[in-house]
Structure 1
Amino acid sequence: MQELPAQIEKLSKIYETRPLYFESKNYFYNLVVKIRTFLSPLALFLELKKIEFKMGRKKDLCLSDRPIDLDIVFYEDLRFSSAILKIPHPRALERAFVVIPTLEIEPDLREPVTGKKLCEIKQEREKEYLKQGIKALTEELKI
């Protein structure tokens, strides 16, 4: 992230979760980072893909274990869709490892498509999120 032309504003705790959508004996570590950047969404996306490549990520056609996965989940209140990028991330609300750490650093955030507060969405999906086995591993991270 230090390679990006961006300023880190907030970091969530690190969370451990089981993989979703595929079987693996491995767990994942997730966190949410709020940044300020002058990059457009597509330019930011391409910079994130460069970082993934440098860290050993291979081009996967299906979901699998990977050394790193960097996604743009929200970009202000933007709704954007192209062949390679959709904002908000289309599966963000399904994922406890996205919603819970996002709420930690942005408790009043509204999801741009539904207009609902993220805390309302968390409440509606609480049982679903509990099944995902999310666990905080750290205290609040400092920038």
Structure 2
Amino acid sequence: MNIAYIGLGSNLGESRSILQQALVNLADHPSIHQLECSRFYRSSPVDSSGPDYVNAVARLETSLSSLALLHLLQEIENRYGRERPYINAPRTLDLDILLFNDEINHSAELTLPHPRMHQRAFVLLPLQDLAPDIVLAQGTLDTLLEQCKDQGIELL
């Protein structure tokens, strides 16, 4: 079984409801096991524009490969009308693989660990809910969160 951490975000439509439904879609997939989710947070856009985001992180066990999981996440995003008109555009649903076991991947389709997760409070804080002792290559979650303290984020 593989362990994956997935970042969830939405800033278009009924964001909280969309994230809740996406979690149900994930949990209902036959290759996803033992899904758990962090608390939900509201965060200001980072490197983008538009309304505030609702964010969370999910931890799941899966028999899927990292690439197969990526394709499943993209399929779920598409169900909710995800469009990609430009980089960092507002979105109905964004699902990113943050970590997949200890896999390191730098392919054209998938980069693991997620290359900017250590710079984003909206990933680090919900990740800390699920795995407070996890240490990324760039440091502990506490250290990294201190470096992101200027990013607006609050518990919903």
The question of whether the paired residues in 2 share the 8 Å contact of 1:12 and 1:101 is answered with yes
The question of whether the paired residues in 2 share the 8 Å contact of 1:9 and 1:36 is answered with yes
In structure 1, distance between residues paired with 2:57 and 2:85: 22
Tell me the SS of whatever aligns to 2:94. Answer: coil
Pairwise CA distance, 1:3:
4.1
1:134 matched to which residue of 2? Answer: 153
Does residue 118 (structure 1) correspond to residue 144 (structure 2)? The answer is: no
Once the two structures are superposed, the pairs formed by residues 66-105 of structure 1 within 5 Å of their partners are 66-105=91-130
In structure 2, distance between residues paired with 1:53 and 1:61: 16
In structure 1, distance between residues paired with 2:101 and 2:33: 15
In structure 2, list runs of 5 or more residues that go unmatched: 1-25
RMSD: 1.5
**TM superposition outliers: structure 1 runs of 4+ over 3 Å:** none
How far does the alpha carbon of each residue in 1:47-76 deviate from its partner, in whole angstroms, 9 at most, with x for none?
000000111002343111110000000112
In structure 1, distance between residues paired with 2:87 and 2:133: 34
Pairwise CA distance, 1:8:
3.5
1:6 matched to which residue of 2? Answer: 32
Q: Which has the higher strand share?
A: 2
- Please report the TM-score for the alignment, with normalisation by the length of structure 1: 0.83
Name the CA shift for 1:9/1:2 in 2 (closer, same or farther; >3 Å): closer
The question of whether the paired residues in 2 share the 8 Å contact of 1:8 and 1:33 is answered with no
- Please report the TM-score for the alignment, with normalisation by the length of structure 2: 0.77
Q: Which amino acid aligns with 1:30?
A: N
How far does the alpha carbon of each residue in 1:88-130 deviate from its partner, in whole angstroms, 9 at most, with x for none?
111101100101110111011121x34x33333334x1xxx23
1:17 matched to which residue of 2? Answer: 43
In structure 1, distance between residues paired with 2:69 and 2:110: 11
Does residue 31 (structure 1) correspond to residue 56 (structure 2)? The answer is: yes
2:3 matched to which residue of 1? Answer: none
In structure 1, distance between residues paired with 2:32 and 2:116: 25
The question of whether the paired residues in 1 share the 8 Å contact of 2:41 and 2:153 is answered with yes
Aligned length: 130
